[in-house]
Structure 1
Amino acid sequence: MADDPLFILILVALLGVVTVLAIGVGGFGIGGSFNAKHGNRMMRLRIIAQAIAIVLILIFIALPGGG
């Protein structure tokens, strides 16, 4: 499973979700101008990244031999 390119793509997508989430939550915690300027954008980007990751996971499960 670890040598499947789709599985590796899923891991990259999940890492992207975690990264965007950490930046968004960190910016919210710090507050100030970064949060005012980029807070909504980071959370929107997180939702898009999560949607992509979920679609990839569903494709992986649906393919024969996946999941």
Structure 2
Amino acid sequence: MTTILIIALVVLMALVVFSLVRGIVAFLQTTKLDLESGEAEHVHEMQLKQNKMMFARIKYQALAVVVVAVILAIAS
């Protein structure tokens, strides 16, 4: 059981990193578009993607904390 939880934890940690990187990339693209064009045509789309990725990161982090709590409860 602990092995399955550790694998789940590693997967959740990878998802946290993945969503964090995608959110940062969306942020950098938003900044680049702001500087190059000065217009907000694609900026809104990138901001929505940014928010979506950051919310996903928070969700995966919360799930990882729950998995750690379950692992600690099983271990004690």
Q: TM-score, normalised by structure 1?
A: 0.80
Bigger helix share: 2
One-letter amino acid of the structure 1 residue matched with residue 60 of structure 2:
A
Unaligned runs of 5+ in 2: 34-41
Q: Which runs of 4+ in 1 moved over 3 A?
A: none
Task: Output the CA distance in 1 between the equivalents of 2:21 and 2:12.
Answer: 14
Q: CA deviation at 1:58?
A: 1.2
**In structure 1, C-alpha distance between the alignment counterparts of 2:50 and 2:56, rounded to whole Å:** 10
1:13 maps to a residue whose letter is L
- 3-state DSSP of counterpart to 2:75: coil
Q: Percent identity?
A: 29
More contact order relative to length (CA 8 Å, sep ≥ 6): 2
Residue deviations 1:10-65, cap 9 Å, x none? 00010000000010011101214352231111111111111001111111111136
Please provide the CA RMSD for this pair.
1.8
Normalising to structure 2: TM-score of the pair?
0.72
1:11 matched residue in structure 2: 10
Q: What is the match of residue 64 of structure 2?
A: 53
